[in-house]
Amino acid sequence: MPIRIPDGLPAAEVLRGENIFVMPQTRAIAQEIRPLKVILLNLMPKKIETENQILRLLSNTPLQIDVHLLRIDHRVSKNTPKAHIDRFYRDFDKIRQSNFDGLIITGAPLGLTPFEDVYYWEQICEIIRWSTTHVTSSLFLCWAAQVALNVLYGIPRYTLDNKLSGVYEHQSVGGHSKLLRGFDDTFLAPLSRNAAFPIHAIQQYTDLDVLAKLPESDELYLAASHDLRQVFVTGHPEYDADTLANEYRRDESAGLSPALPHNYFPNNDASCEPLATWRSHGSLLYSNWINYCVYQITPYDLKVMHPSEND
């Protein structure tokens, strides 16, 4: 089945060019089917690029998914046309009274910024708390995972001495968790973060299930609540093959002297074209999330209270 996105969204042509079935709203409303309603809160600077990446992964499921784009930052973007944001993105006030099947909050280049200095800190905290009663399952990526752990569990902000940038091997440690179905014992995933996610802090402050980690390390990659209503991913399984290269060259041009991304460029030669070695993991992770955390848990009628509201 297709993903259902607003008419005219640039991602439509990109994904159609990859033989991904994309259905515009005008056609979707003619079908008698209950699509999954998923919100994408896109905090990344290059919003169109991130839209393409996330929507690509959401398309790897037999379910029809109705995607809504959300914004909380009204400052003029340097990387995304204002007309695009005004046309396709909605404000939180427009949806706060509605319930949704899923929520995805992306990362943001704010790993070195204290929480209290984040421009939209109060708004993102409000949305994360709101999601616990209005969303069946939420997927928090990278920086958003750090924020959600702080908002929901009070975990302090941890920062690495050196940025993790590159493609890292991770180890599945979650046993028979539904989120790990089909996973190999080890898998590759891109990281691009200054934020630290020490497992000892996760275990101290929460009862989350630790599902994947960096081998021989205290660094978390994947965790989830027992009921799968909150899922935390500390990397970027959605990244394109060249995303880390573009970040590296951007930082290099800015005079930041970035380290070469780990295990990324062939022969560690930045002049070589990198290959995506994590696509299967990213597709499987999103498919498992949509199937086991959203579709098999969410009520058919979204007006029905979610389980946490009846506790």
250 is in an annotated binding site: yes
State how far the Cα of 167 lies from the Cα of 184, in Å rounded to an integer.
16
Catalytic residue among 170, 236, 281, 306, which?
236
Please say whether the beta carbons of 16 and 79 come within 8 A.
Answer: no
142 classed as catalytic: yes
Nearest to 200 by CA among 217, 187, 186: 217
Nearest to 231 by CA among 170, 189, 188, 294: 294
236 classed as catalytic: yes
163 is in an annotated binding site: yes
State how far the Cα of 270 lies from the Cα of 267, in Å rounded to an integer.
9
Catalytic residue among 142, 219, 293, 306, which?
142
State how far the Cα of 36 lies from the Cα of 53, in Å rounded to an integer.
19
Structure tokens belonging to residue 244: 């880390």
Nearest to 58 by CA among 24, 21, 30, 87: 21
272 classed as catalytic: no
Please say whether the beta carbons of 126 and 148 come within 8 A.
Answer: no
Crossing angle of the two packed helices 279-288 and 47-58, in degrees rounded to 10:
70
229 is in an annotated binding site: no
Catalytic residue among 49, 51, 219, 238, which?
238
Q: Which residues are annotated as a binding site for substrate?
A: 163, 192, 250
Catalytic residue numbers, as ranges: 142, 236, 238
Q: Which residues are annotated as a binding site?
A: 163, 192, 250
